[in-house]
Each structure stands twice: as structure tokens, then as C-alpha cells.
Amino acid sequence: MNKNIREYVKSSSGNIKEYSFYGKTVFLKDPLPEYINLLHILRKIEKLIPEHFLYNVDGLYIGFYQEFEDRDVNALYKDGIIYVSNEQDDNDDMVDDIVHEISHAFEETYPVEIYGDGSIENEFLKKRVHFSFLADYEGYKIEKSKISNLDYDREFDEILYQDIGYDKILPLTHNLFINPYALTSIREYFATGFEEYYLGEKDFLKKISPSIYKKIYELENLKDEETQHYET
């Protein structure tokens, strides 16, 4: 998808309104609703998130892409590009989508620093095991292999979202996960924590997911000389 989209952008750039985002190009492929203030959204995010977190982001493309339907999502990060649907409920909805995908780009920039010591993995797995005990008590049987798998598993996601239902999972994840979607994989656990850090309550994240809070805080406050190797 990425190669085709890049070629499309090059060939039709005259028909696409351009914005700037951390000095990177934003391609508005399809029109946004009139009630969406894109400039306000971009500037808000720039004020919230350090620029070095977006080292691996080459651009932001906004519009409809078939992969959204194929994967049942409205935003994704792939090959250095953040893709976001132009169909948004409001400004906050779009901010959420972009910040969530920035978190995945951030992971790609600092994988060792984030996951290398195993602290987030241990925190995530302990919470999943705790959740599985609570779910079992409520009559929801989940295979142990699903609980121990760190990666995204569509079947597990469907068990949570469709078979059990997020409404029933929500009380079981209280003070364990930021939201039920954080259960689906270690990457989504981190991403929901990243969103909470920048768009929610930092103190709540520090209480509920201290390992995620610690990693973001440390990397956010890196000195300039410590990030130079990402700029070469």
C-alpha cells in the first residue's frame, strides 16, 4: 500500500492541500468535515509531544485508504507514514488517532529503551494473568496461550470485543488497564498508556502502569546530546 500511496501523492500533489507537522509534510488526500480544524489539531500535538519522538515519521496522510476497511481501523502507522481517516467525529477524535499512531512510531525509534529491560512486558503479563482470573470467575474461559502471547491476535481481540464485550470487560480491568483495548497486545498496552500520558491524566498512568510512565518520562527528558545518534 505504501508504495502506491507515495506514487499517488507525487502524481497528484497539485490537488492536495499541504500543511506542516513537525516540519514534515501533511497530505490532505480527501476533505475533512468542516467542523474539523486541522491546523489546530496539528499545533496542539506539536505542543504536547517532543519532536524526537517522531524521528521515524516521514509524513502524515489524511484520507480514505482501503487498508482501513481491510483491518477495521481508522488510523495506522506503516513504513514511516501515519495514515489517518478523514472521517472524524471531532477534533479530539482526530488528535487521539494521531497520538496513538505516534506512539507506534515512538516504539520503533526506541525499542531497546522501551522494552529492553522487560519491565513493561512483566507488568503487562501480570495484569493479563490477573484479568484472566477475574474473567474465569465470571465464567469467561480464555486459553492460557492467548494470555501469554504478547503480540496482537485477531482471534483474541474478537473474544474480548465480540464474545465477551468491552462493556463486560471494563469493570474487570478497573485499575489494571487504561481501557479494554489495552489488553489486546503489549504494543496496544503501551500505546494506550502513551495516550493517557499526553491526553489524559499522568498521575493515573503512573499509578496504574508505572513502567510505561517511567519509560516515557525518561525518554521525554533525554538531553539533546543523548538523542544525536537518532539524527545521523
Mean pLDDT, the chain cut into blocks of 10 residues (232 residues total): 47 55 92 95 96 94 94 93 96 97 95 96 96 91 91 89 88 91 95 97 96 96 55 44
Question: According to the model, what pLDDT value does residue 223 have?
Answer: 55
Residue 101 lies in a domain: no
pTM of the entire predicted model = 0.86
Which of 25, 57, 90 represents a domain boundary (last residue)?
90
Number of domains forming the structure of the chain: 2
47 and 139 belong to one structural domain? no
124 and 81 belong to one structural domain? no
Helix (H, G, I), strand (E, B) or coil at 60: strand
Q: Which of 151, 25, 11 is nearest to 81 (CA)?
A: 25
Question: According to the model, what pLDDT value does residue 44 have?
Answer: 97
32 and 83 belong to one structural domain? yes
Question: According to the model, what pLDDT value does residue 230 have?
Answer: 47
Residue 11 lies in a domain: yes
Residue 231 lies in a domain: no
Question: According to the model, what pLDDT value does residue 229 have?
Answer: 45
Question: According to the model, what pLDDT value does residue 206 have?
Answer: 96
Q: Are 102 and 109 in contact (CB under 8 A)?
A: no
Average pLDDT of the chain, as a whole number:
88
Q: Give the domain range for residue 20.
A: 2-90
CA distance 74 to 87: 8
CA distance readout (Å), 197 to 4, 39, 100, 220: 34, 22, 11, 11
145 and 81 belong to one structural domain? no
121 and 37 belong to one structural domain? no
118 and 214 belong to one structural domain? yes
Which of 90, 123, 139 represents a domain boundary (last residue)?
90
Question: According to the model, what pLDDT value does residue 221 have?
Answer: 86
